[in-house]
Amino acid sequence: MLYKSTRCGVKNIGFKDATMMGLATDGGLIVPEFVPHFDPQSIKNEDFKSIAFEIFKLYIGDIEEDDILELIEKSYSTFDDNSITPLRQFEKLYILELFHGPTYAFKDIALQFLGNLFEYILKERNQTLNILGATSGDTGSAAIYGLKGKKNVKVFILYPQNGVSLTQELQMCDIDDKNVFPIAIAGTFDDCQYIIKEIFKDAEFKEQYHLGSINSINFARILAQIVYYYYAFLKVEKNVAFSVPTGNFGDIFAGFLAKLMGLPIEKLILATNENDILYRFVRFGEYAKNQVKKTLSPSMDIQVASNFERYLYYLYDQNCNVVKDLMQEFDKNGKLEFNDKILQIQSDFSAYRVSDEEILHTIKDFYEKYNYII
């Protein structure tokens, strides 16, 4: 499997180079040259780690299979449940528990793997790497726990000052490893993300200082998240729809890729808080920036979803020239309209927006009914 950019400027690179590159040097995002087909029935009775191995093999062509297995074992040994992502049933509703990693964030599933993957590649190449990341809360702590103590790598995490929860800030700032540097920014998550993207656009600077990315712009993170869609589907098997809390579009995009791979997902339901740029995109075909609103779910307080560009690439039949033009237009005007694509978009996703009040009511109601905190 080889990889390329959504904006045409990068082609024919291997998985390890794609991982180290993070954001493509032309400003686009890395995608596989093709989406492999993978029948879920071929892994019907497998556990999470075995499913991960079978899926990873399809996308990783330049790492020996024994080493892939070792990376998987090392990455998921830190989880407190042997199932990694156990599935709980409540009548006709199922909850996939993605909080059994070291920071209790769903991003541990990808970032424990990515931390070990970086260390593996750097050791093999005798290189060093400075990781830059932006977080609205959970990415930062999960990235730090994935990379703390790792050899040949330092991690610098930008987060919005007073824009993450106290628990998340303590998780980031209470680590005394010498390779960890959390940095508070006077601004929003979108400001943090903008700083990172602007730095990565300078290819010479990026190469000189050995910069890499741990945000979901790194395709290795998307790859790791595909696994639990297959895992969850095989536990239920029929009429499966996934409802995914969505901010930066990475998690639900992994589900979209799983569907392209052949996983018969009935529906991908995109759930946003009041920062609703993706809700408006699905419902009305408009992708337009608004001011970021502070909510009770700060990790989703995002107005520019970095993985959105990957979806555009598939929406426009993998035409990188169209994607490049669209992203340049968005950078200039802060708005895109997709009236001619609305039927396809609504075929791929449903979307719902919820307020803080609705979130609190749902948590309370679910707890009273099932004695389970969501």
Cα→Cα distances 245→88, 262, 287, 351, 359, Å: 17, 23, 18, 10, 12
> What six digits make up the tokens of 184?
């508070």
Tell me, rounded to whole angstroms, the distance of Cα 358 from its chain centroid: 25
Cα 46 from Cα 49, distance rounded (Å): 8
Torsion of CA 91, 105, 243, 114, to 10 degrees: -130
> What six digits make up the tokens of 215?
């945000």
Please identify which of the residues 107, 150, 206, 324 carries the catalytic annotation: 107
Backbone angles phi, psi at 183, to 5 degrees: -130, 120
Q: Mark whether 107 is an active-site residue.
A: yes
> What six digits make up the tokens of 128?
């060093």
Residue count of the chain: 374
> What six digits make up the tokens of 242?
């996934």
Report how far apart the first and last C-alpha atoms of the chain are (Å, whole number). Answer: 38
The helix (H) or strand (E) run that includes residue 261 is none
Residue owning tokens 């010479």: 204
Query: Is the distance from CB of 251 to CB of 328 less than 8 angstroms?
Result: no
Q: Give burial (CB, 10 Å; 0-12/13-18/19+) of 295.
A: middle
How are strands ordered across the β-sheet holding 129-134?
180-185, 153-160, 129-134, 211-213
Q: Which residues are catalytic?
A: 107
